[in-house]
């Protein structure tokens, strides 16, 4: 009996050892193959396809948001391929997992550029992931399309920003609130770079435009107990809570706010990180009546959007929703394709040069690349959340607003940078 047991153990451990060896063998041989490949393949212009990288978190805390961006980008690539490809070539996506871990983003971006030699990368969500990829794309002269609204103060020559910068989201929202909802602001955010930077801008703007700061609070990412902060809000009675909380914290905050008897009629909460996808997680009934500011809603009324939403739902399921970052990820692929067509080449420098001024009829309205900052001109929209989880648009800027990541056109922002 004993001997048999030992035998089983021995076989098992040998088997394990074998697996590990085989795996490291695989890794080693693939590394060697790479050397060969590298010698064979001269540049991007080989073969029938052109590779592009898709680098989002498919695992970890950010996966819930980023997986739908990957889906939108794949859909756009499919559309281009169905229409005959780009410069006679089919686009071949190379998908990598950033794993919600910033050095992994840097590592995978490097892999995409050096090993796969992709023509461009679509990827990222958090600022930290973008900051991690930035030196990599700059050093390798790659291209990155970043599709999420962010805190501005950046314009890398190798990144195109298709999400809103602060003057296309936060600043118009604050002006609108001051005009329509009241002067007394309470700032609430998760403790990381975007809320802290956003609130610095808001404070300067309030000072310049006659608003009043009633309080400013930060909670760690993933924080779920808001009773203290809600009693503070009750005490100072602000007109508006400007909410830059991220992720799960929103669920806790809004549920506890509702439980404490404060509804949207008593107090407006304006959020910048809650889109249709997040509402699905929190529940439309809890959020109903509160506001959010974006450049696109699923309900935005354009013919392009109707087709886009229909197609997305048909492809990925009726229960899926579209939202601002999804739209920005989707049209980023098309903008890149337009730039490639105009340049007549996949070469990064030529594409960059051709990109300025390129327009595309995106689902949320026409967008245009600003050649100087490599951001996009976008329409700003403020919407009220309905119980069914969709937005009712209350206001929009009418025409696309010029991106100004460093807020150079705002005199009150002078001391910020």
Partner 1 sequence: MKNKTWLYWLFFLALFTAPFYLTEFRLSLLGKFLCFAIIAVGISLIWGYTGILSLGHGVYFGLGAYCMAMYLKLEDSRGHLPDFMEWSGVEKLPWFWKPFENPLFAIFSAIIIPVLLAAFLSYFTFKNRIKGVYFSLLSQAVVVVFVTLFIGKQEWTGGTNGLTNFSTVFGFSLSSPLTQIVIYLLTVLLLCFIFIFSRWLTRSRFGRVLIAIRDSENRVRFLGFNTTTYKVFVYSLSAAFAGLAGVMFVLQVGLISPAMMGIIPSIEMVLWVAVGGRNSLIGAIIGAIATNSAKSFFSENYPDIWLLFLGGLFISIVMFLPNGLAGLYESFVQRKGRRERRKNEAGSHVSRSVS
Among 74-82, 103-111, 266-274, 314-322, which window interacts with partner 1 (CB under 8 A)? 103-111
- Establish if 4 lies at the interface with partner 1 (CB under 8 A): no
- Establish if 247 lies at the interface with partner 1 (CB under 8 A): no
75 neighbors 311 (Cβ within 8 angstroms): yes
152/365 with CB nearer partner 1: 152
φ, ψ of residue 266 in degrees (nearest 5)? -80, -30
Among 12-20, 82-90, 269-277, 360-368, which window interacts with partner 1 (CB under 8 A)? 12-20
How open is the CA angle 54-144-115, to the nearest 5 degrees? Answer: 60
- Establish if 26 lies at the interface with partner 1 (CB under 8 A): yes
59 neighbors 99 (Cβ within 8 angstroms): yes
Q: Where are the alpha helices (DSSP H) in 294-388?
A: 303-316, 324-343, 348-355
199 neighbors 231 (Cβ within 8 angstroms): no
- Establish if 223 lies at the interface with partner 1 (CB under 8 A): no
| Near partner 1 by CB under 8 A: residue from 65, 68, 120, 127 | 127
221/236 with CB nearer partner 1: 221
Beta-strand ranges (E) seen in 11-135 are 49-56, 90-97, 121-123
- Establish if 155 lies at the interface with partner 1 (CB under 8 A): no
| Near partner 1 by CB under 8 A: residue from 71, 73, 96, 277 | 96
| Interatomic CA distance for residues 7 and 13, integer angstroms | 10
Pairing of the two strands 49-56 and 121-123 = parallel
| Interatomic CA distance for residues 31 and 28, integer angstroms | 5
Torsion of Cα atoms, 266 then 271 then 274 then 275, to 10°: 90
Torsion of Cα atoms, 114 then 117 then 118 then 122, to 10°: 0
Least distance (Å) from partner 1 to the CB of residue 96?
6
User: What are the CA-CA distances from residue 322 to residues 89, 245, 305, 339 (Å)?
Assistant: 29, 21, 10, 25
- Establish if 304 lies at the interface with partner 1 (CB under 8 A): no
Binding flags for partner 1, 193-222, as an x/- string (CB under 8 A): x--xx--x-----------------x-x--
Q: Where are the alpha helices (DSSP H) in 166-238?
A: 170-180, 193-209, 227-236
Least distance (Å) from partner 1 to the CB of residue 216?
13
| Interatomic CA distance for residues 367 and 360, integer angstroms | 6
| Near partner 1 by CB under 8 A: residue from 7, 18, 20, 87 | 20
93/238 with CB nearer partner 1: 93
- Establish if 224 lies at the interface with partner 1 (CB under 8 A): no
Question: Binders of partner 1 among 323-382, rule CB under 8 A?
Answer: none
Among 94-102, 349-357, 359-367, 384-392, which window interacts with partner 1 (CB under 8 A)? 94-102
3-state class of 311 per DSSP?
helix
- Establish if 228 lies at the interface with partner 1 (CB under 8 A): no
Least distance (Å) from partner 1 to the CB of residue 318?
22
| Near partner 1 by CB under 8 A: residue from 107, 209, 217, 359 | 107
Pull the structure tokens for residue 275: 């889109």
| Near partner 1 by CB under 8 A: residue from 153, 262, 264, 288 | 153
Query: Residue 14's CB: how many other CB atoms inside 10 A?
Result: 10
- Give exposure, 374-383, as e/b (b: 16+ Cβ within 10 Å): bbbbbbbbbb
Residues 6+ apart with CB under 8 A from 283: 389
187/400 with CB nearer partner 1: 187
- Establish if 317 lies at the interface with partner 1 (CB under 8 A): no
- Establish if 410 lies at the interface with partner 1 (CB under 8 A): no
| Near partner 1 by CB under 8 A: residue from 62, 91, 99, 143 | 99
Question: What is residue 89's DSSP assignment?
Answer: B
Q: Is the torsion defined by CA of 342, 73, 69, 287 positive or negative?
A: positive
- Establish if 139 lies at the interface with partner 1 (CB under 8 A): yes
| Near partner 1 by CB under 8 A: residue from 64, 80, 128, 264 | 128
Question: Binders of partner 1 among 36-75, rule CB under 8 A?
Answer: 38, 58-59
Contact set with partner 1 (CB under 8 A): 9, 12-13, 16-17, 20, 23-24, 26-27, 30-32, 34-35, 38, 58-59, 95-97, 99, 101-104, 106-108, 110-111, 114-115, 126-128, 131-132, 134-136, 138-139, 153, 191-193, 196-197, 200, 218, 220, 415-417
């Amino acid at each position: 009996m004993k001997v048999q047991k030992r035998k089983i153990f021995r076989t098992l451990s040998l088997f394990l050892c074998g697996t590990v060896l085989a795996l490291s063998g695989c890794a080693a041989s693939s590394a060697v193959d790479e050397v060969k490949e590298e010698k064979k393949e001269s540049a991007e212009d080989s073969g029938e396809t052109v590779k592009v990288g898709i680098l989002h978190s498919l695992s970890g805390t950010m996966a819930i948001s980023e997986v739908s961006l990957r889906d939108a980008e794949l859909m756009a690539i499919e559309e281009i391929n169905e229409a005959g490809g780009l410069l006679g070539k089919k686009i071949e996506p190379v998908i990598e997992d950033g794993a919600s871990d910033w050095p992994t983003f840097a590592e995978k971006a490097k892999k995409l550029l050096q090993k796969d030699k992709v023509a461009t990368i679509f990827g990222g969500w958090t600022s930290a992931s973008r900051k991690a990829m930035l030196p990599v794309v700059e050093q390798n002269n790659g291209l990155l399309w970043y599709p999420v609204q962010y805190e501005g103060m950046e314009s890398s020559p190798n990144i195109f920003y298709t999400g809103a910068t602060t003057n296309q989201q936060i600043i118009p929202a604050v002006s609108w609130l001051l005009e329509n909802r009241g002067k007394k602001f309470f700032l609430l955010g998760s403790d990381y770079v975007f809320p802290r930077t956003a609130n610095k801008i808001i404070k300067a703007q309030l000072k310049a435009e006659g608003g009043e700061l009633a309080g400013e609070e930060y909670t760690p990412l993933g924080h779920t107990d808001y009773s203290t902060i809600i009693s503070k809000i009750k005490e100072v009675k602000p007109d508006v809570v400007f909410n830059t909380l991220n992720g799960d914290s929103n669920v806790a905050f809004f549920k506890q706010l509702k439980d404490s008897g404060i509804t949207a009629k008593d107090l407006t909460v304006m959020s910048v990180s809650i889109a249709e996808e997040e509402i699905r997680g929190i529940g439309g009934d809890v959020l109903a009546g509160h506001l959010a500011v974006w450049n696109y809603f699923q309900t935005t009324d354009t013919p392009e959007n109707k087709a886009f939403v229909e197609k997305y739902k048909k492809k990925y399921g009726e229960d899926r929703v579209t939202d601002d970052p999804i739209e920005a990820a989707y049209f980023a692929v098309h903008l890149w394709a337009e730039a490639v067509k105009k340049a007549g080449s996949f070469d990064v420098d030529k594409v960059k040069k051709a990109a300025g001024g390129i327009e595309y009829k995106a689902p949320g309205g026409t967008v245009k690349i600003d050649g100087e900052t490599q951001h996009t001109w976008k329409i700003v929209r403020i919407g009220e959340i309905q119980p069914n989880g969709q937005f009712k648009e209350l206001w929009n800027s009418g025409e696309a607003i010029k991106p100004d990541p460093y807020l150079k056109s705002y005199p009150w922002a002078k001391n910020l940078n």
